[in-house]
């Protein structure tokens, strides 16, 4: 699910939180602590740059593979959950493509990492990158909510779920979420733009209407994308785990006294589902909470510490923000590996998809073969 950077715009690859939109870290002042701290800051900037770049590449490949597996398998694409998983992979892919444009425009005045600056010189691209990233994060969050609600209906109302949750309703829900995401996250069009800074001899993509941006950011990004979806996903995940656990206990009671050591396939599916939900909840908290905390400590440091903080504290806040940002981007890459780890059927479909994709021209291997009902039709995905 999406991580929070609700007021994060960039001058290069730095978040902008001042009135001018230019970050005060590393742009005009020397790093704290002399040469030793300067070397440490270089390490952090380079680690952030190369790790995020690697994650973007891996994430694009993994999300494309996930979409290909879901779309090519009849047993996956015909299920309600399969529709949501395809949409989630598409949303994560869209965010990573927007993040790649931000990454390509990464700049450091002390160490010039790359020479691209098209987002900082083209007003259309400046607005487009932020609209794309914000919309994709919003879409990813609410698609995950929809998946969790669908799983709740499945375990809570198993006899009525065929009427409550259908592929047609899933497509309608995805369309509504997508349109809402685009509409609510269009505010960078009139709040973000190119601004020249003669003192630095360049221009940057920055917040041009701070008050309006902050109002939209508070409602859409902080509440709509972060707080509300996180609470909903947490509540429904706990309820799902409770229902699955109680069902497993009832089956165990029914099997007591019987001389049978066979494991029910349905029991195995629900056991994997429980493990998946726990992994989803833990990974979400581990990946999102540190970055959200570091972001808000950095952004509102003047309000949190009324007395001016020293240079070393500034440096530590910057380091925490840069390091946790890497884990936040990992949030959009992790789904594919969770599918492979928790779903043996997904691994089988993945092998078949790769085999067919590489040999289709020679053998005419069908891309839509499947055997039985997929485990992934019973699973959910990351928060």
Q: Are 137 and 225 in contact (CB under 8 A)?
A: yes
∠298-49-114 over CA atoms, to 5°?
115
Q: Are 187 and 121 in contact (CB under 8 A)?
A: no
Instruction: Using alpha carbons, list the distances in angstroms from residue 159 to 89, 153, 156, 374, 377.
Output: 29, 10, 9, 19, 16
- Rounded mean pLDDT of the chain? 75
pLDDT at 191 over 50: yes
pLDDT of residue 58: 95
pLDDT of residue 37: 55
pLDDT of residue 255: 63
Q: Are 343 and 82 in contact (CB under 8 A)?
A: no
Q: What is the pLDDT of residues 155-166, one digit of tens each?
A: 888 788 778 888
Over residues 178-194, the mean pLDDT reads: 94
pLDDT of residue 282: 65
Position 38 confidence tier, pLDDT thresholds 50, 70, 90: low
Q: How far apart are CA 275 and CA 284, in angstroms?
A: 14
Q: What is the pLDDT of residues 90-141, one digit of tens each?
A: 999 999 999 988 888 765 544 445 667 788 888 899 999 999 999 999 998 8
pTM above 0.95, yes or no: no
The residues spanned by each domain of the chain are 10-378
Q: Are 267 and 244 in contact (CB under 8 A)?
A: no
Position 175 confidence tier, pLDDT thresholds 50, 70, 90: very high
Long-range own/partner contacts, residues 126-130 (CB < 8 A, 24 or more apart): 126/192, 126/193, 126/194, 126/205, 127/188, 127/189, 127/192, 127/193, 129/98, 129/101, 129/102, 129/205, 130/9, 130/188, 130/192, 130/205
Over residues 11-29, the mean pLDDT reads: 34
Q: What is the pLDDT of residues 57-102, one digit of tens each?
A: 999 999 999 898 888 877 777 778 788 888 989 999 999 999 988 8
pLDDT at 223 over 60: yes
pLDDT of residue 379: 42
pLDDT of residue 301: 80
Task: Give residue for tokens 């936040």.
Answer: 328
Position 4 confidence tier, pLDDT thresholds 50, 70, 90: very low
Lowest mean pLDDT among 67-71, 230-234, 262-266, 311-315: 262-266
pLDDT of residue 62: 92
Q: Name the DSSP class of 193.
A: E
Q: Are 172 and 181 in contact (CB under 8 A)?
A: no
Nearest to 143 by CA among 72, 83, 70: 83
What fold does the segment set 10-378 form as a domain? Rhopdopsin 7-helix transmembrane proteins (1.20.1070)
> Is the model more confident about 95 or about 204?
95
pLDDT of residue 279: 66
Over residues 49-56, the mean pLDDT reads: 90
């Amino acid at each position: 699910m999406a991580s929070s950077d609700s007021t994060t715009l960039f001058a290069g690859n730095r978040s902008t939180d001042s009135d001018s939109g230019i970050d005060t870290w590393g742009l005009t002042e020397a790093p704290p602590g002399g040469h030793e701290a300067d070397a440490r800051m270089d390490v952090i900037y380079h680690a952030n740059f190369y790790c995020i770049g690697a994650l973007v590449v891996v994430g694009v490949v993994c999300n494309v593979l996930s979409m290909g597996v879901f779309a090519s398998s009849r047993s996956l694409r015909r299920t309600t959950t399969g529709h949501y998983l395809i949409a989630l992979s598409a949303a994560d892919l869209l965010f990573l493509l927007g993040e790649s444009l931000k990454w390509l425009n990464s700049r450091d005045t002390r160490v010039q990492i790359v020479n691209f600056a098209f987002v900082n010189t083209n007003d259309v691209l400046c607005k487009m990158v932020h609209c794309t990233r914000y919309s994709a994060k919003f879409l990813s969050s609410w698609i995950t909510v929809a998946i969790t609600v669908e799983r709740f209906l499945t375990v809570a109302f198993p006899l009525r779920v065929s009427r409550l949750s259908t592929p047609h309703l899933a497509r309608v829900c995805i369309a509504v979420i997508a349109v809402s995401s685009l509409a609510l996250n269009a505010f960078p069009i009139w709040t973000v733009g190119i601004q020249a800074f003669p003192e630095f001899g360049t221009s940057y993509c920055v917040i041009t209407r701070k008050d309006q941006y902050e109002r939209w950011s508070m409602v859409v990004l902080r509440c709509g994308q972060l707080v509300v979806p996180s609470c909903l996903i947490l509540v429904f995940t706990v309820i799902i785990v409770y229902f699955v656990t109680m069902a497993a206990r009832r089956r165990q009671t029914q099997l007591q006294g019987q001389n049978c050591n066979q494991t029910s396939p349905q029991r195995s599916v629900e056991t994997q589902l429980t493990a998946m939900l726990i992994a989803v909840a833990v990974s979400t908290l581990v990946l999102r909470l540190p970055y959200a905390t570091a972001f808000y400590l950095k952004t509102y440091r003047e309000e949190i510490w009324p007395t001016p903080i020293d240079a070393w504290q500034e440096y530590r806040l910057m380091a925490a923000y840069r390091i946790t940002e890497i884990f936040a981007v990992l949030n959009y890459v992790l789904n594919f590996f969770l599918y492979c780890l928790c779903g043996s059927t997904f691994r089988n479909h993945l092998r078949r998809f790769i085999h067919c994709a590489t040999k289709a021209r020679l053998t005419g291997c069908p891309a839509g073969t499947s055997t039985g009902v997929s485990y992934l039709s019973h699973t959910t995905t990351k928060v």
